[in-house]
A and B are shown apart, each in its own frame.
Chain A
Amino acid sequence: NAGVTQTPKFRILKIGQSMTLQCAQDMNHNYMYWYRQDPGMGLKLIYYSVGAGITDKGEVPNGYNVSRSTTEDFPLRLELAAPSQTSVYFCASSPPGSDEKLFFGSGTQLSVL
């Protein structure tokens, strides 16, 4: 069982560069999420999606873009990387329903220098 797979695990970017963080899940979950975790802070929601073709902003969307063309994939795009985007990024998915719990990937450690 792969669950939620994130790539890459580590990445260093220069200021102004762009990159895409990949996320794929094989559990046929409708809901997918991107979170970032800064040191000493809780996870903050960047974007989420309730199904293919539907995305919405979370708490901290500025500087990021997402797309959801399939149920399985939910890539996160960073345009013009800034040092403030240095963080650990987690992708998660969940099935709809009243007993929802998130299934997380192992994270991407991103440094912008």
Chain B
Amino acid sequence: DQQVKQNSPSLSVQEGRISILNCDYTNSMFDYFLWYKKYPAEGPTFLISISSIKDKNEDGRFTVFLNKSAKHLSLHIVPSQPGDSAVYFCAASGNYGQNFVFGPGTRLSVLP
């Protein structure tokens, strides 16, 4: 049973528009969440994180929202750029960093 779910395997967005990537989790003990971006033939790179004491965290064009009651988080990218085309992984941890559980990823394509 997947503890971290990303139900959209792929998403296509026009350049300049908003990209919204969703992530759901089942384990209420998770208290730290991260998003990673992965380009082909490279390892994932850290994008943004949020702890359970917050409901929003921003870093430039990237914002992560956390809804603890719904066990749902989302990543907003505004405005989307072609260089944002990659696979995005959601990850969660129950003890601030050890034993992250990863979702299956969403492939984002930003069309010029």
Residue tally, chain B, CB below 8 Å to A: 26
Residues of B within 8 A of A19 (CB): none
Selected from A98, A102, A106, the residue in CB contact (under 8 A) with B100 is: A102
| Inter-chain contact B98/A106, CB cutoff 8 Å | no
- Which B residues from 26 to 63 make CB contacts under 8 A with A? 32, 34, 36, 41-46, 49
Q: Give A99's nearest chain B residue, CB to CB.
A: B49
The contact string, 1 if C-beta is below 8 Å from chain B, for chain A 46-81, is 001010000000100000000000000000000000
Residues of A within 8 A of B103 (CB): 42
Give A residues with C-beta under 8 Å from B: 4, 31, 35, 40-45, 48, 50, 58, 90, 92, 94, 96-107
24 pairs from A and B in contact (CB 8 Å cutoff): A31-B97, A40-B104, A42-B4, A42-B102, A43-B44, A44-B102, A50-B98, A94-B97, A96-B97, A98-B96, A98-B97, A100-B32, A100-B96, A101-B34, A101-B46, A102-B44, A102-B46, A102-B100, A103-B46, A104-B44, A104-B45, A105-B43, A107-B41, A107-B43
